[in-house]
Chains A and B, each alone.
Chain A
Amino acid sequence: MRDILKMEILSRPENEGFARASVAAFVARLNPTLEEINDIKTAVSEAVTNSVVHGYENGEGTIFMEIVIEDKVVHIKIADEGMGIDDVERAREPLFTTKPEEERSGMGFTFMEIFMDRLEVESAKGKGTSVHMVKKIGGGK
């Protein structure tokens, strides 16, 4: 089975909850466990929040989401056309944050990595960031 959900949302904090709830509803057809659904909701929330807070620095911009279901595998792409990340490797380190004054915990990428099977981050300074995450439902992780 193959299916696709594409969404564009504005980078508003109110849309963070909408984004994770939409992805959870789309993935529900694979009969995920409660834990798998929570994993996906958390990972989506982290990626969308990154675009809102860092990509567009709390200003207005568009967040592009593409969710592909292929048999039991979920591919999630979340992209923005914001400021981009200087050093992706460093950004992925646990507890690293460029915004300590806003009390960002620096755990966003770490949670995406822990809760999903695979995480790829592509970013170009001034052009934006794209996060690609993969998770197998029923994979026991």
Chain B
Amino acid sequence: MRQAQYKIEEETIKIKLPEELDHSNSTDIRKEIDATIYSGKVKNVEFDFSETSFMDSSGIGMIMGRYRLVNPLGGKVALLGVKGNIGRIIKLSGLHKIVGESEEK
């Protein structure tokens, strides 16, 4: 399966998420993001769901955790390309109320 891809632009780390986001890969993604935040290079996190078709509660926990990490630093979390099943999971969890969501990509 395709791995997550990371790109840093100014103060934002942009993550193109894999096709499926679950417990098996969310820990590695978390570590990768946190390393760049702790290094002081970035404070904003942008998750790109445009090529992702599945996410469960492990993904919710991972996104929520990044929000808790960057919020005190004045950073933001954004979700891009959210659609279908993933949009439903995000709404049910209440995540859309605390992080920015955009259909566009």
Partners in one complex: yes
Q: Which positions in A face B, CB cutoff 8 Å?
A: 13-14, 16-17, 20, 34-35, 38, 41-42, 45-46, 49, 52-53, 102-108, 110-111, 114
Are the CB atoms of B60 and A107 closer together than 8 Å?
Answer: yes
The smallest beta-carbon distance between B55 and chain A, in angstroms, is 8
A18 to B16, CA, bound (A): 22
Which chain B residues in 25-47 approach chain A with CB under 8 Å?
30
Inter-chain contacts of B64 with A (CB < 8 A): 103, 105
Given A103-B62, A103-B64, A107-B60, 18 more A-B residue pairs with CB atoms under 8 Å apart are A13-B22, A16-B22, A16-B24, A17-B24, A38-B54, A41-B54, A42-B85, A45-B22, A49-B22, A49-B58, A52-B23, A103-B30, A104-B61, A107-B57, A107-B61, A110-B57, A111-B89, A111-B92
Inter-chain contacts of A45 with B (CB < 8 A): 22, 54, 56
Are the CB atoms of A105 and B22 closer together than 8 Å?
Answer: no
Chain A minimum-CB-distance residue to B26: A103
Chain B minimum-CB-distance residue to A101: B65
Inter-chain contacts of B3 with A (CB < 8 A): none
Number of cross-chain contacts by CB at 8 Å: 66
A108 to B57, CA, bound (A): 6
Interface residues on chain B, size class: 20 to 34
B20 lies within 8 A of chain A by Cβ = yes
A107 to B90, CA, bound (A): 11
Which chain B residues in 44-74 approach chain A with CB under 8 Å?
54, 56-58, 60-62, 64-65
Chain A minimum-CB-distance residue to B68: A103
Inter-chain contacts of B56 with A (CB < 8 A): 42, 45-46, 49, 108, 111
The smallest beta-carbon distance between A38 and chain B, in angstroms, is 4
Inter-chain contacts of A20 with B (CB < 8 A): 54
The smallest beta-carbon distance between B51 and chain A, in angstroms, is 16
Inter-chain contacts of A108 with B (CB < 8 A): 56-57
B102 lies within 8 A of chain A by Cβ = no
Q: Which of A45, A52, A53, A103 has the most CB of B within 10 A?
A: A103
Are the CB atoms of A107 and B23 closer together than 8 Å?
Answer: no
